[in-house]
Structure 1
């Protein structure tokens, strides 16, 4: 039984933010609060699974959130070519997680049923709920359905030996986190079930929330998925770059060997 390597690949950052953008009712709401954007790579022997795709230059320009590096280029130091990626776990369909689906034309997607229903249903008539979605990205996911390249998940499921997905919701109806078996135990890639360590460990709700109860329950679920708290990896926290070592290239961080040193939660 072999274990997986995990790499967090940073492709963008957004620093013109405050704590009010990250936490509901934070008393220090005007304090600057930076955000990093990651995709994740799972490797085991000849197997590779991409977790999320990031978004491309055009989407960055449209939203006024430029990327630092094209996701395809960001993966090259790991020896990965976009056309060779054949499996993508899509944690949810927000623009910064599924905005690059078209960049990986040959991949099969693993996606929660309820996320597709949410992103194509009446909730998208609401201007607040639709804001993190982009129609072209959803259309690309629908095209994969029609070409037989989407495996729908309902709740928890195994994607590969040592890799499972778990529907958490809260931030989006069908958000899923990823549990990965490694040499140091189970790592939980929270994605946006916890944007920051503070979300999960200080019980602070993120402002983009579909269901507050589901988000709070998700914080507790994340703690059950990782072998120890330090192996929960939030989706956007710049502290990930401090806790885990940079390898291969300055924008790539290895997660499966654990943090550089244990840190306080």
Structure 2
């Protein structure tokens, strides 16, 4: 018997204008506009609230030439969440767009794969090709949390709580983990950067920022196996998420979506 089902929310906090060829190894033969959205996620029921990833702030947005739409703290507040009281944050990995905003969660424990911490503090960071998605200040903050007793290292296959499991898939980074969440509509997988876009899964074309291409491609199969159907997979950066799923509230269209509810009816304009 499953635990009480969870609600899941995707909060868009930033965006970046891109071309399709930037999102696939080898480019895309139908190159065109293919923007990237940046999300954090909330998983909650009556017993607990878990924040998944922490995004980046305005200073990092300016440094990386990204555009903040709504600060992460504002999105959490719209869901009635006091960020200072959050007790559990899952970091899918420690790239700059998933592990910033250090001021928001002073009381939280951070759940991370041990392999990710070893990766971003080890010899691979000697290479610009591998260290550029990380922000030094984010890694330093994680070391501070480690010595403050606020890091919880997770096993490659682990249970965070009844109805929430964690799974290391690697690929994009060596310690990338995804979440499987029990909802009223079944098992939903928050794929994070195991699949940036639906198209990475559909076309089996890896995203160019990658540590291990083999692990990334095998990660696509793992994401599919853990979810109840393709409609239960949530990619990490695809703007279509906000089109496919209903808004959390009337005033959050295009900003905060409800992922534990069924997808909205597909029109001829949407993905086939």
Q: Distance in 1 between matches of 2:125 and 2:94?
A: 12
How big is the shift at 1:101?
3.3
How big is the shift at 1:102?
3.4
Q: Distance in 1 between matches of 2:97 and 2:62?
A: 13
Partner of 2:107: 106
How big is the shift at 1:55?
0.5
2:203 aligned with 1:202, yes or no? yes
How big is the shift at 1:92?
0.2
Partner of 2:46: 45
2:262 aligned with 1:258, yes or no? yes
Q: 2:10 aligns with which of 8, 13, 31?
A: 8
- Say whether the 8 Å CA contact 1:114–1:154 is kept in structure 2: no
Partner of 1:71: 72
- Say whether the 8 Å CA contact 2:246–2:261 is kept in structure 1: no
Partner of 2:141: 140
- Say whether the 8 Å CA contact 2:9–2:41 is kept in structure 1: yes
SS in 1 for 2:97: helix
Q: Distance in 1 between matches of 2:221 and 2:205?
A: 12
How big is the shift at 1:28?
2.9
Please give the root-mean-square deviation of Cα atoms over the aligned residues, in Å: 1.4
Post-superposition CA distance 1:17-45 (Å, at most 9, x none): 11111011134364111111010001101
Structure 2 gap ranges (5+): none
SS in 2 for 1:96: coil
SS in 1 for 2:119: helix
SS in 2 for 1:260: coil
Partner of 2:232: 231
Partner of 2:81: 80
Partner of 2:21: 20
- Say whether the 8 Å CA contact 1:164–1:180 is kept in structure 2: yes
- Say whether the 8 Å CA contact 2:157–2:167 is kept in structure 1: yes
- Say whether the 8 Å CA contact 1:18–1:29 is kept in structure 2: no
Q: Distance in 2 between matches of 1:244 and 1:64?
A: 28
Q: Distance in 1 between matches of 2:50 and 2:150?
A: 15
TM-score between both structures, scaled by the size of structure 2: 0.94
Q: Distance in 2 between matches of 1:47 and 1:177?
A: 19
Structure 1 gap ranges (5+): none
